Structure 1
Amino acid sequence: MLTRWTRPNKAIVAVIFAAGVLPAAAQGPQTTPFADDPHLSITPRTVDESARIAAAVAPTRDFTRAEPFEVNPGGKATVRRRTNADAFSQPSGGMGFDRELDFKVGNGLFRKIWVSAPSSTVGSDGLGPLYNARGCQNCHIKDGRGHPPEGPEDTAVSMFLRISVPSDPGAEATEITEFLSTAPDPVYGGQLQDFATPGQKAEYRLGITYEDVPVALSGGEIVTLRAPTYTAEDLRYGPLHPDAMLSPRVAPQMIGLGLLEAIPAADILALADPEDADGDGISGRANIVWSHEFDRPMLGRFGLKAGAPTVREQSAAAFAGDIGISNPLFPDDFGECTAEQVACRAAPGGGDAAHGGFEIDAEGLDLVTFYSRNLAVPERPDAGAAEVLHGKKVFYDSGCTSCHTPKFVTHRLSDQPEQSFQLVWPYTDMLLHDMGEGLADHRPEARATGHEWRTPPLWGIGLTAQVSGVETYLHDGRARTLLEAILWHGGEAEPARQRVIAMPPADRAALIAFLESL
């Protein structure tokens, strides 16, 4: 079960070639890019390198000591583990002065508070007219996770609802096999915004109620899960479409994104097993999405359902949808306002001729992308502790590594030294998995069904409370502890969940200690 990474899935690779991502002539044993970002300056691996990489990423069988380089999960880009809320806000280790300056300028744009147009601060206007937050950092708190609102006084700044309606099969992205066609809500668009600039109406207010779900564990322990119900309340533009599908989203942590982008697509596709050919019960699938940047299908990597192919496109989409800031990939200065929201579309924009008519231009978007790519992964000083090693063995024995693939080696990149040819430990396969009815949102996204989610990376997860000030996990923050997050696993992960429920309490404690060490 732990050797799934060795078998390329030719059916998925064929989808990529059929979609025109690479010409058929590019197929061959040494071809690795497949659907990688064309902007990456990749040096192909040699046969010798491929053999060394296969040995380096092979699953360990020795749990008596830490593996070589395991204390540095981000490779040479790893940074010292800090004990304050800035643990996720450091630039990649070993970064040169000039590149660190770009990182700091990108940080300034990431932290910027945008204002409505027109404004005397021309470089900062263009907010909205509808928005979920006034700046990137407002959602990604200290570059970490957001959280659902806790009580009536807590606004939902780092959480919102995506929305879509069914559309005609094949109406879009017909080049992608198994694409699930959806469309934005005709009135409310692709996500619901709970804030608006002066003179405009916010779309809604997020409502959440919870129901307690007790789970009995071995040893007499009872864990109470909270099952959420989400509602779009105080709708200001009329009712939702009768077939509207809503999906909650909490902002994820930001560390290691450039390293995840630098993992060869071929290595991710090799993990896919959609028909469960090996019979292990795990059927990971690649999400193939349409790239707005490159106007073609690509492997989805980012977002909770792997709906974005690159860090740059994910950043551009967040500017447009979350803040209402136009940019080269999403140029509408009215952001998410639909044709039905006439006053919203007529509101003044902040596009500036000096910035190509956008509210953030290509240079600014590239700086935010650079910043996002280079938020460093902290070290793991306790990787060799006895209880952590015990928990690591429990993690492996329980089958968790069937989805949370421990390690990869990144591309050799001539222009990104921080991400180039590094052994990294993200604990994700970047694939979609059916997580069962309990976590289902019943809303498709590209090839992802309403039961599927991308395996989230686990690096840094033990620092969540330290960075964000509160512990919330999963796509909607319903889990308040790591154990609660595990107990919400279903579908393909149900056997692993049952093992955790039945294992001796000491093994569960060690498993949590291992996760907290990441």
Structure 2
Amino acid sequence: MFHRRAALRLVPLLSTLALAACKPETSQHAVAEPGEALSGGAATVGQSDRNAYSMPSANLTPSRRLDFSVGNSFFRNPWVIAPSTTTARDGLGPLFNTNACQNCHIKDGRGHPPELNDINAVSMLVRLSIPAGPEDARTLKRLGVVPEPVYGSQLQDSAIPGVEPEGKVRVEYDPLPVTFKDGTVIELRKPRLRISDLNYGPMHPDTQFSARVAPPMIGLGLLESISEADILANEDPDDRNGDGIRGRANRVWDDARQQTVLGRFGWKAGQPDVAQQNAHAFSGDMGLTTDLQPNDDCTAAQTACRNAIDGGKPEVGQHIFNQVAFYARNLAVPARRKVDDSQVLAGKGLFFDSGCAGCHTPKFTTGPNAAEPELANQLIRPYSDLLLHDMGDGLADNRPEFLASGRDWRTPPLWGIGLTETVNGHTQFLHDGRARNLLEAVLWHGGEAEAAKQRVLAFDAGQRDALLAFLNSL
């Protein structure tokens, strides 16, 4: 989301940045700020090769790095079907999308839509739900959606022997040309989701679908450490300043605390913290139970799934669960490159002048009570406000989730985005991977970001190159 938000800042510099769409600020970005390359504060790593997303926080002690390595092994290595002699890793399924976290979050990075000859979607999943009725208030409070009655809230295209997978996922594309003011034409691709080979009968006629690629894992612990007050300070649901930007927080169910709290993770900010995000991924993506999600993801219609042998109760023990959470929290953000480059600085000015920083908030300082001490009191540069924004019809999935509407998406962090091709071998962006490069990603913006997009459409070739140089430096 490259646009602008009303911001009330505790840090004076950020108050200035929040006004980016109202007045030119190019001159303010003529030089790099002190420490600007350290996107993750003292936890930032200097890695910029294929392992750039897989490094531990730079400020971890040697003993804590051992804990990181243990978590990494359970994140990277496959889980197996129960019963097995590998009791620490058994219990996969009965229904699942993949058998290892790393298969979705490739090299701890970004997934992609299924390619032509892929048997399974793997690093893209499809969320399912149906419209809610008055009788669904309790379900909505706890799940944020009403699951599809037969297939649940996520389509699983793999299964263990003796259980049928739910179906297959394919994506087809239609061309959508967009023209810049200088006459340059960019052809976007508009996705069409196709679900086939349903093994449990037809879906509800009003089923809502949302295709989502796996996002990068870097910096999650730092984002978790931003105080709720600092996030809420950037809300402007009533558009008090009249700039067209209405950042809103999602409010979601916390499984551990059994109450509604601030959402900050997931494409629609549907999860409150790293632990719950992991628990739901274990359950939905791999069919593994945890203390937070003690039941397999089987509906009443899926008898074989419900009767399958499990790998223990829970299948992911608390010690392993904690190690994976520690790993996820401490996947470090790589340092920026070329922060002093003249083209990068020019692109930074254009980014702010166009209003992109209105939602892609440059800076936060993490709180003192972080889940891990290395993540506390760090000046970080995620380029996200973690709030929901209406992104228009073009990006709408028309599937609400808690307070997020079918047109709302959480502002995704931009840190590390310029290393996507180096790490993952592709440049497919946005929630469903439809954008084949960063410029296409910008041009899909609408709704609250429409004004910012129109400013970008007025850029000449040199300005476009500068903007991309800045984004690729992040």
* Pairwise TM-score range, normalised by the shorter structure: over 0.9
Q: How does 1:211-230 map to 2 (within 5 A)?
A: 211-230=174-193
**Structure 1 range deviating more: 158-167 or 189-198:** 158-167
* Distance 1:104-1:56 versus aligned 2 partners, 3 A rule: farther
Question: In structure 2, what is the equivalent of residue 94 of structure 1?
Answer: 59
**Structure 1 range deviating more: 288-297 or 54-63:** 54-63
Q: Give a deviation string over 1:391-419, Cα, whole Å, max 9, x none.
A: 00000000001110100111013762321
Q: Does 1:339 pair with 2:300? A: yes
**Structure 1 range deviating more: 72-81 or 144-153:** 144-153
**Structure 1 range deviating more: 63-72 or 150-159:** 150-159
Query: Cα offset for 1:216?
Result: 1.1
Question: In structure 2, what is the equivalent of residue 489 of structure 1?
Answer: 445
CA contact (8 A) 1:250 1:475 kept: yes
Q: Distance in 1 between matches of 2:96 and 2:13?
A: 45
Which ranges of structure 1 fall in alignment gaps of 5 or more residues? 8-52, 352-356
Question: In structure 2, what is the equivalent of residue 42 of structure 1?
Answer: none
Question: In structure 1, what is the equivalent of residue 76 of structure 2?
Answer: 111
CA contact (8 A) 1:167 1:181 kept: no
Question: In structure 1, what is the equivalent of residue 379 of structure 2?
Answer: 423
DSSP-derived class of the 1:438 partner: coil
| Match for residue 278 of structure 1 among 238, 241, 245 | 241
CA contact (8 A) 2:366 2:379 kept: yes
Q: Does 1:408 pair with 2:364? A: yes
CA contact (8 A) 1:169 1:180 kept: no
Identity %: 53
Amino acid aligned to 1:311:
V
| Match for residue 12 of structure 2 among 55, 63, 66 | 55
DSSP-derived class of the 1:320 partner: helix
* Distance 1:277-1:170 versus aligned 2 partners, 3 A rule: farther
Q: Give a deviation string over 1:448-483, Cα, whole Å, max 9, x none.
A: 000000000000000111111111100000000000
Q: How does 1:229-308 map to 2 (within 5 A)?
A: 229-308=192-271
Q: How does 1:326-405 map to 2 (within 5 A)?
A: 326-332=289-295, 335-351=296-312, 357-405=313-361
Q: Does 1:313 pair with 2:315? A: no
Which ranges of structure 2 fall in alignment gaps of 5 or more residues? 18-24
DSSP-derived class of the 2:466 partner: helix
CA contact (8 A) 1:173 1:290 kept: no
**Structure 1 range deviating more: 143-152 or 307-316:** 143-152
CA contact (8 A) 1:180 1:444 kept: no
Amino acid aligned to 2:67:
D
Q: Does 1:459 pair with 2:415? A: yes
Query: Cα offset for 1:112?
Result: 2.0
CA contact (8 A) 1:170 1:181 kept: no
| Match for residue 80 of structure 1 among 31, 46, 61 | 46
DSSP-derived class of the 1:384 partner: coil
Question: In structure 2, what is the equivalent of residue 167 of structure 1?
Answer: 132
Amino acid aligned to 1:54:
V
Question: In structure 1, what is the equivalent of residue 22 of structure 2?
Answer: none
Amino acid aligned to 2:448:
E
Amino acid aligned to 2:128:
I
Question: In structure 1, what is the equivalent of residue 161 of structure 2?
Answer: 198
CA contact (8 A) 2:237 2:248 kept: yes
Q: Give a deviation string over 1:229-273, Cα, whole Å, max 9, x none.
A: 112111000000112111001000000000000011111111011
Q: Distance in 1 between matches of 2:242 and 2:200?
A: 49
Q: Distance in 2 between matches of 1:414 and 1:206?
A: 39
Higher relative contact order (CA 8 A, sep 6+): 2
Q: Distance in 2 between matches of 1:255 and 1:386?
A: 27
Q: Distance in 2 between matches of 1:70 and 1:414?
A: 22
TM-score by length of 2: 0.94
CA contact (8 A) 1:140 1:158 kept: yes
Amino acid aligned to 2:90:
D
Question: In structure 1, what is the equivalent of residue 170 of structure 2?
Answer: 207
Question: In structure 2, what is the equivalent of residue 29 of structure 1?
Answer: none
Query: Cα offset for 1:4?
Result: 2.7
CA contact (8 A) 1:175 1:297 kept: no
Q: Does 1:156 pair with 2:121? A: yes
Give the RMSD, CA atoms, in angstroms.
Answer: 1.8
Question: In structure 2, what is the equivalent of residue 46 of structure 1?
Answer: none
Q: Distance in 2 between matches of 1:488 and 1:99?
A: 41
Query: Cα offset for 1:143?
Result: 0.3
Q: Does 1:4 pair with 2:2? A: no
Question: In structure 2, what is the equivalent of residue 324 of structure 1?
Answer: 287
Q: Distance in 2 between matches of 1:180 and 1:123?
A: 29
